[in-house]
Structure 1
């Protein structure tokens, strides 16, 4: 049973302005899905392109490896427990923050650069983009053959070892080019292609302030190498960019060193050298501190020795001259107290001298030592008062004995300290140690190939969404029949869905692979044909008050499908038992005759010229009740022919023979033919196509016809994307699909 498709407003009796209200405001999820499906091939294409680019990046990008090592920073202590008393002489405890700065200092990194010659850059020059990828994957003992004839580039297997390179100061950090020759010969040129040096592998070459010694060179003759002598600052800066050091855990004293690079063997060697250089300088620093203190003590010991000998001699001489004198118990107590005060004062003076070399007089530590010295001086004055009350002989003996005791004690202590420092210096091991030597990761660090491809796919998807947004922003075209009704106030009598079957038929006709076929005949259940049946019903009521039984179908511009509507609507009307004639009034490009398999000649042109009768130009088709009138010969003045009285007579005579006349006219805005014909027919319909023109174009077409005295009845909206409408409006989209079901 045939099911008629009606406009929702007409079927329910609801006023059109109410029925056409939007269900919701803004862009809904359904509309987003619909737009995505509409542009699915663009999304797929851009995403595929992004994946291809991502795959190319994975193939050509050079892997980066990471080497790391661990160092422990210990609290600064002496090599033997008995030497803890020397800590004030050896300085404060080591801080981790200070060691972090030392590890990144020029003192350490500069030594590494010098030892490993990192200021010499020598590497094969590869072809941009693909050269590294090819060279990296080459496996062979000899240099690879040139690819695509680019013999100046390295393609894998090339090696160079430059042990020494000196250049004039203006050429520091300036790139040079080394060209390999025959039998180990080479030539060095500058940026201006001037030869600055020539030589042979294994022999030092010098000229014009340049000097180079190449220990090894293996390459095809003509292969070029990048060569550069960096300044110390540049080499250190380049090393710092790939180098990092941090503390593992708060206050753990464990420092982690890491180095990134493309050569796994080289970064391991460089990081090991950094570790060893740091430990070596730490030991040297500790040893230098002990050496400095020992040197000071050695300079003091001889003078103290002389002072001890002089004090003993004076004491012995006085006892010989006075006879044997013994100190009373009271005098011995005073002697011990005075000696202790003198000994303490001397130690504080030494400590103050050490501190003065590091701190200003306002430093709290120095002020505390000065306060202690002041207290000792006060006590000394007290004891001196007690000594002054002793007999003269006891005072002299006490003074001489004091000098002997103080000098001997100080000399002995300094001598012991010197011996301990010698032992400490010999056993200095530093306060840092290597926990883990440099180890290189087995796999490259950074983004993995799968992650790169995933990121590329995501970027491709985002790029496609941006492209869709851009295209949508540029497209100010009509996508929805409701827009026409809202803006122009004219009804849309039918919305014809997009038909893939019609595309196939048109393609066959254009390529000549088959005879002309009508969609209404070959695919009667197609959604587009069902919509034309709905149009048939609507037109029956729309033309009840019309004086003529003729219908003009036109459009605003070419390529909208007006001929498709005309011929298939005619077939649908004929199938309902009506006598239908289709008049091809497009005297410029008319082609309806092709679909019906008849010739163009003997048509409208011949009838208006009086060369044919009505019987001659009305041609039956294979479809019962359907006839056509072709254009005839293409005239040079189509508009003048259509304005001829005989064209009006033609329409009148056809109106007496047929129930409905369908006139297919040229576009309104292109030529004036449609305006001429519109005054002679009962109703005029304009065909609009989804996504082909802005609403202003349709407004202009209606205005053009109105100015010519033609009243536009309404619109037929062609090529509607029902899939998008379905997702945009939900069930509402299904009104465009309702056909046969078994």
Structure 2
């Protein structure tokens, strides 16, 4: 006890890991942070790769430019504001939704495609990924020199202009390859690499139902271009993908149009032509309506003129035959009424004919007109009865005057309407107009390079966390010693934290250098402090045992049982106990390396009876600590361990030493540990954090129990204490004292 107090006064660190029996409810933030910190290098690597990909994305991706413009859609349209009465003849008011459909229709976009030849797609053949980026940054007038001698690819400054291209129907939307030659020559091949035709700049070339006219080539000989002749449907669909039109504000009548693409000049040209084509078709449609109405009126005017002339001639002839006749006031009143009724009847008949083009006779609007016509005919009959009461001469004059009046009125109205339509047709401007012409933004639209890199980093972080989560989900391994105690019902006597110093020492030993013990070279290491705690536990565990030997084994290789055996022996020796380490792993034992001893003359030779006990007990550099090596690796390890002389070896060593530490092979690999366990005073199993599922440990315990070996408890090795630091409040606590100068204040 005094010795321990002296060590504490000297500043030796102590570590205590006390596991809590209760888990807090809710979201275990500390556990998540601990898992992330455990895999921090994986997270950092994946995120760094994602950032590099984001940088590459920023460099390789094409900039997208946006051209936009504004159109105003008016509710009504007329050639002149003074001709509002012609609105029924020129059509209904225009709705914005209908105009949006017209803007994106094949009628408008198809005209633009044909005019600008957008159905001929010409692209230089660039080297994958980096080729387009290099070409965009080249500013020379002549073609750029090929990179790495790849002369068949375009590297910037390459120009090909195709003014006409005709292909068979089955070759539409399929790539053709044009290869530039010397002095304006070129060759055109199909998708299979077969030659289609050969030609030169400035002359139409024909071959195999293909025809092409190339007006300009500025490229190195051998440079390839990809040409596609798109069908009308494909060209319109491609233009629609980049073109957008929407109303700005609710019922504002202002339509915003935009076009996106990687060529700023082309965007402005195409969008400007779309606007002009749309306005032009609108004006043409309005003008065509007025022209159609005018043509109809011009066919009716000669007939009405003849009827008017005939009525005037008959009226004048009758007056001359009867002498000068004047209508009295009563007759004039009847005449005016008759003329008015006849004009209304003619107008209603025209209205009914127009309605019958859209509706059946049973439609309410048609029936309403029929009812009005019937009432007018009734009034007409009343006027006719009034006329019969007049003298015969007055009746004849009245009828002739009525014909003249009606014919003149109809003819005059149609002449006036025709003149108004001519004026309207000449001044038609449509019901849409361009407010803002197409203009291209000086800066590319879309995400900037910093945003792309930031998004890539975020996606990389999310992906790395997903990988960590998947890795953790697939790994059904033990990370916490409490799981062993709760599910197997066996105590965990010690929890050994991970030691970077031991990793370095083990690496040196594997390289053939002289081995060292962590307990000697780094006695202040946290792992050694935990073994000091195990030393006390072993003292009590062996009090009731029949033997003073401890068997240390595990379920599978690579758990660190040899590390625990040799360093536990050193810790026991440092406390004044005479200890001996027996390397009973007659298959792969290597404890001799850490002590700088030879393997020969050990357990195998003693059991074989070729050497004495004092020949195999070898002293070490650690006072009070001896080692018994494996000896020569035998062909029958299990049979040697079952020999009576091995039991005698343990008995004799037990009489000479205070504590025997037996390092045995893993129980699930071979049965050696079960053979030795029956001869040992206590059996401890080593479990390593994150290396096996609970079922493996359960199977190992059962294997020993079936052989009559009672497992005292576990030593939980290689616990990541850095991760435990973030688990505060979740499943355990970590307390640590750091070494410092005892005189420091």
Superposition TM-score, scaled by structure 2 size: 0.92
Matched, 1:636 2:615: no
**Structure 2 match to 1:13:** none
**Structure 2 match to 1:340:** 340
Q: Classify 1:547/1:350 alpha carbon distance in 2 versus 1 (closer, same or farther; 3 Å).
A: closer
**Structure 2 match to 1:602:** 601
Q: Classify 1:224/1:714 alpha carbon distance in 2 versus 1 (closer, same or farther; 3 Å).
A: same
- Asked if 2 retains the 8 angstrom alpha-carbon contact of 1:722 and 1:736, the reply is no
Per-residue Cα deviation, 1:580-636 (whole angstroms, up to 9, x for no partner): 222222233322222223333333334344444333332222222222222333333
**Structure 1 match to 2:499:** 499
- Asked if 1 retains the 8 angstrom alpha-carbon contact of 2:15 and 2:737, the reply is no
Q: For 2:211 and 2:360, how far apart are their aligned partners in 1?
A: 51
Greater shift in the superposed pair: 176-185 or 455-464: 455-464
**Structure 2 match to 1:83:** 83
Matched, 1:650 2:644: no
The Cα of 1:735 is off from its aligned counterpart by: 4.9
The Cα of 1:277 is off from its aligned counterpart by: 0.8
**Structure 2 match to 1:231:** 231
**Structure 2 match to 1:521:** 520
What pairs with 1:603-622 in structure 2 (closer than 5 Å)?
603-622=602-621
Matched, 1:123 2:105: no
**Structure 2 match to 1:706:** 705
- Asked if 1 retains the 8 angstrom alpha-carbon contact of 2:76 and 2:94, the reply is yes
The Cα of 1:544 is off from its aligned counterpart by: 0.8
Higher RCO structure (Cα 8 Å, ≥6 apart): 2
Q: For 1:285 and 1:419, how far apart are their aligned partners in 2?
A: 20
Q: For 1:287 and 1:739, how far apart are their aligned partners in 2?
A: 95
Q: Classify 1:362/1:60 alpha carbon distance in 2 versus 1 (closer, same or farther; 3 Å).
A: farther
The Cα of 1:129 is off from its aligned counterpart by: 3.0
Q: For 2:686 and 2:252, how far apart are their aligned partners in 1?
A: 81
Unaligned runs of 5+ in 2: none
Superposition TM-score, scaled by structure 1 size: 0.93
What pairs with 1:660-675 in structure 2 (closer than 5 Å)?
660-675=659-674
- Asked if 2 retains the 8 angstrom alpha-carbon contact of 1:5 and 1:534, the reply is no
Q: For 1:529 and 1:579, how far apart are their aligned partners in 2?
A: 18
**Structure 2 match to 1:12:** none
Q: Classify 1:77/1:645 alpha carbon distance in 2 versus 1 (closer, same or farther; 3 Å).
A: closer
**Structure 2 match to 1:107:** 107
Q: Classify 1:521/1:368 alpha carbon distance in 2 versus 1 (closer, same or farther; 3 Å).
A: same
The Cα of 1:133 is off from its aligned counterpart by: 2.3
- Asked if 2 retains the 8 angstrom alpha-carbon contact of 1:495 and 1:736, the reply is no
- Asked if 2 retains the 8 angstrom alpha-carbon contact of 1:72 and 1:435, the reply is yes
**Structure 1 match to 2:177:** 177
What pairs with 1:418-437 in structure 2 (closer than 5 Å)?
418-437=418-437
Q: For 2:343 and 2:494, how far apart are their aligned partners in 1?
A: 119
Per-residue Cα deviation, 1:683-737 (whole angstroms, up to 9, x for no partner): 2212111111222322332233333333322221111122333433538644564
- Asked if 1 retains the 8 angstrom alpha-carbon contact of 2:72 and 2:433, the reply is yes
**Structure 2 match to 1:530:** 529
Q: For 2:393 and 2:499, how far apart are their aligned partners in 1?
A: 138
The Cα of 1:214 is off from its aligned counterpart by: 1.0
Q: Classify 1:540/1:208 alpha carbon distance in 2 versus 1 (closer, same or farther; 3 Å).
A: closer
**Structure 1 match to 2:687:** 688
The Cα of 1:403 is off from its aligned counterpart by: 1.9
- Asked if 1 retains the 8 angstrom alpha-carbon contact of 2:479 and 2:690, the reply is yes
Aligned length: 732
Unaligned runs of 5+ in 1: 10-18
Q: For 1:8 and 1:232, how far apart are their aligned partners in 2?
A: 76
Q: SS at 2:683's partner residue?
A: strand
- Asked if 1 retains the 8 angstrom alpha-carbon contact of 2:65 and 2:260, the reply is yes
Q: For 1:141 and 1:391, how far apart are their aligned partners in 2?
A: 101
Q: SS at 1:148's partner residue?
A: helix
The Cα of 1:569 is off from its aligned counterpart by: 0.9
**Structure 1 match to 2:727:** 728
Q: Classify 1:86/1:644 alpha carbon distance in 2 versus 1 (closer, same or farther; 3 Å).
A: closer
- Asked if 1 retains the 8 angstrom alpha-carbon contact of 2:304 and 2:407, the reply is yes
What pairs with 1:158-177 in structure 2 (closer than 5 Å)?
158-177=158-177
What pairs with 1:530-569 in structure 2 (closer than 5 Å)?
530-569=529-568
